[in-house]
Structure 1
Amino acid sequence: MENFNERIRYLIMQHLKGESTIHEQLELQEWVNASNDHRELFDQFSDPERLKEELKEYFEAQTNIWDKIDAGIKTPAYIEGPAESVTRTIHPIRHHIRSYVAAASLLLIIITGYFWLRPRHTPIEGRSASVPVAARDVAPGGDKAILTLANGATIVLDNAQNGAIAQQGATSITQLTGGQLTYNTPAKAASVGYNTISTPLGGQYKVTLPDQSKVWLNSGSSLRFPTAFTSTVREVSITGEAYFEVADNKSMPFHVKVNDMDVTVLGTHFNIMAYQDEDLVKTTLLQGAVRVNRENQSVMLTPGQQAQAGKGLRVISDANTEEAVAWKEGLFEFNSAGIEMVMRTLARWYNVDIRYEGSKTGNRLTGKIRRDSNLSDVLQILSTSGYHFKIEGKTILVLP
């Protein structure tokens, strides 16, 4: 527990000095989001006027604060969980803090952090202003999609009740909890129609196809598929980005059509990223085998490889598969990414526009950030790499 407290104190100090790495910002963000107590205390101590007030109280106090820190750290109640409530006005040396680990961190900041900050003239207020207040914040995306049936009727899935939502011939369509749609088809279907599921910007969804293959759609994407697979092949088409776990059926190959490409599989796990605003269409294989066909070119992928289709078709032998499917696991992952690529990714998930003021060149970004974070939290982390941001309605300004 002592080592944990030291770590939190270090992370807060690094943040206030403006010296956090992107990984330290992520770690601090996770701690802040762990409880309302953590967030409240952190917000309070991001305010330099509050630091001055607490510093004054410290020197006026007549008690031994170090005994209080030791008592707080050793209190077993915190190990079991935070206290039921915490007052919004925080006075560490007046028994108003009930989150003891947070109290230890903040008392250290009062005593030492303020003196680190003041001589260096760290522009805390300016840094905070570059990522606006919560009232102007943008919430993360979520489980949203529209299902278009064979007859053209549409169902807004995020508004539909769980359970059976439609019948397409002999195929029943059921919505499950957690943004999932499943198709159940009898062994022999008399008629087949085509359905399309589309996710808006800021949306994602999971579909279980009639053959029990599973498809995860990222934001701004679509999947068109038959209500039953009755031919000698299983064929679907996508736009945007999708992750597939294809049910094994060697007698009925599975084909994914995307732009002018065809990806042929038997039973496998793979991701296709084919957004129109990206230069490359990337097919990343995690398990099994796929063949990527484009015009007169064809490549076979093995696990860990990625096919990139741009002006030509090439294979990356040692692809970063974790980065390719991070979105499905609830993460943004960047590895030496340029700011434009990062902002395109954020624009799709938060449904915002991007505007640049100044140069688009600068530090390249590496790290992981949770996709369930509010936009301002993400921008705060990215700002540690030298970029500055401002949210104006549904537009992010990228500033020099």
Structure 2
Amino acid sequence: MDLEAIDIQTLIVADILGTITPDEKTQLDKLMIDRPELQALYDGIREDMETENLAALAGGSISAAELITRARKRVRNRYIRVFTAAACSIGLVGGLSYYLLTPQQPATLASWEDGKTILLKIGQQEINLESNATTNVNGVALHPGTGSLSFSSLNSNTHDLGVLTVPKGKNNYKVILDDGSEVLLNNTSRLSFPLKFDGANREISIDGEAYVKVATKAGHPFIVHLPLNRQVEVLGTEFNVNTYDSGIARISLVQGSVKVAKGENSALLIPGKTATIDSQAISIHEFDANEVLSWRDGIIVFPDNVTIERIAEVVGRNMRVKMIVEKSAAGKKFIGVILDKSKPIIHLLQQLTDTKEVTYNISKDGVIHIL
């Protein structure tokens, strides 16, 4: 294999591990644009590294030498072998060793939205759900798995409330509630729920976006509380709720029937309709299922004529990167834009630049500037 190919793969590995420098990142982005065939290589390397959990090892305290030793023992894939050779040949080991051995200062979190892990709080106890470890809390057995949480009550009298948060940039997370109902949370979302439903009503609270499948239970209405005194009441149904936009709640009904309410005002929804609740009123209209529900598959389908400012906002929430729209690009609108969270941000940037309406650069601090 020629040196150029090794260098490219080294850049890709550094990008996945988060050790890439701003100049190297700019170089890699340009290569990905000029040579679209490199995307298959990037995806293959990332998949193999995720399989072997090397990125997680890099976040710990092991040395680069040990990381490479583990790669040699555990990974037979050609990409990791190339990473080992390339790291030794161009001095990446030294830089990576510094990164691994230097204590990383935790960032000051502005709110739960900027957290680092999917977290469940029960009273004063906090559980990192990404550890996938079964935990007993106050008579409740928690069974977290990859991307989901179920639980069983060992104490029939528990009245504990769980608060589950999925911060920015995380994958979707599903919670199976006490009655068998399911809540699939998008990133930057929070769910409050009782570990055991008792009484006539089943009540939860959602802030952000979620897809809810309600288990039918006659005589026990299911009520979803939303910010600013909004709520959804159902008996058995599937629907999407979205409260990302401050002051606005959108409830999109897939099947069944729901009643949405804001104070004394209420309205009934039928499948295929969305209720938009703002500070003034409740309005009903049809919704595009592809746009509203695609987030469940890790894809964001933007509506036609979406503004660049809206794209930047959604990218920031989903990809944990910062995108700034400069004055030269302000107000630009686009058609057919799709954000695939499984792919590097360069895919979205190429969609935007292919229109010839905008361009971009990446500053040394990693911020993407849309020009």
Identity of aligned residues (%): 27
Map of 2:241 onto structure 1: 272
Look up the equivalent residue of 1:148 and give its one-letter code. K
**Residue equivalent to 1:44:** none
The residue type paired with residue 360 of structure 1 is A
TM-aligned CA deviation for residue 315 of structure 1:
0.5
Greater gyration radius: 1
Give the C-alpha shift of residue 37 in structure 1: 10
Asked whether the 8 Å contact 2:260–2:268 carries over to 1, the reply is yes
- The CA deviation at 1:388 is 2.1
- In the alignment, residue 362 of structure 2 is paired with which amino acid? I
- Listed as ranges, the gaps of 5+ residues in structure 1 are 1-24, 40-83, 89-140
Counterpart for residue 165 of structure 1: 135
Letter of the structure 1 residue corresponding to residue 360 of structure 2? F
1:233–1:254 Cα contact (<8 Å) kept:
yes
CA offset at residue 32 of structure 1? Answer: 5.8
How is 1:184-263 mapped onto 2 (pairs within 5 angstroms)?
184-185=152-153, 189-203=156-170, 204-259=172-227, 260-263=229-232
- TM-score, reference length from structure 2: 0.65
SS at match of 1:207: strand
- 2-side partners of 1:394 and 1:281: how far apart? 33
Alignment of 1:398 onto 2:370 = yes
**C-alpha distance 38-148 of structure 1, shift in aligned 2 (>3 A):** closer
Gaps of 5+ in 2: 1-31, 46-77, 83-113
Q: Secondary structure of 1:326's partner?
A: helix
- SS of 1:341's equivalent? helix
Does structure 1 retain, via aligned residues, the 8 Å contact 2:159–2:195?
Answer: yes
2:324 to 355, 361, 365: 355
Equivalent residues of 1:168, 1:227 under 8 A apart: no
Structure 2: distance between partners of 1:354 and 1:248: 43
Q: Distance in 1 between matches of 2:277 and 2:218?
A: 26
Q: Check conservation: 1:32, 1:38, Cα contact below 8 A.
A: no
Task: Output the CA distance in 1 between the equivalents of 2:237 and 2:149.
Answer: 20
Match of 2:349 in 1: 379
Please tell me the residue identity of whatever aligns with 2:339.
Answer: I
TM-score using structure 1 length: 0.61
Among candidates 282, 287, 308, match of residue 339 of structure 1: 308
Give the number of aligned pairs: 269
Once the 2 structures are TM-superposed, how far is the Cα of residue 34 of structure 1 from its aligned partner? Answer: 4.2
Per the alignment, residue 63 of structure 1 pairs with none
For 2:215, the aligned partner's letter is A
SS where residue 219 of structure 1 aligns? coil
The change in CA–CA distance for 1:163 and 1:36 in structure 2 (over 3 A counts) is closer
Q: Which amino acid is 2:312 matched to?
A: M
**How far off is 1:281 after superposition?**
1.6
Report the alpha carbon displacement of residue 217 of structure 1 after superposing the two structures with TM. Answer: 1.1
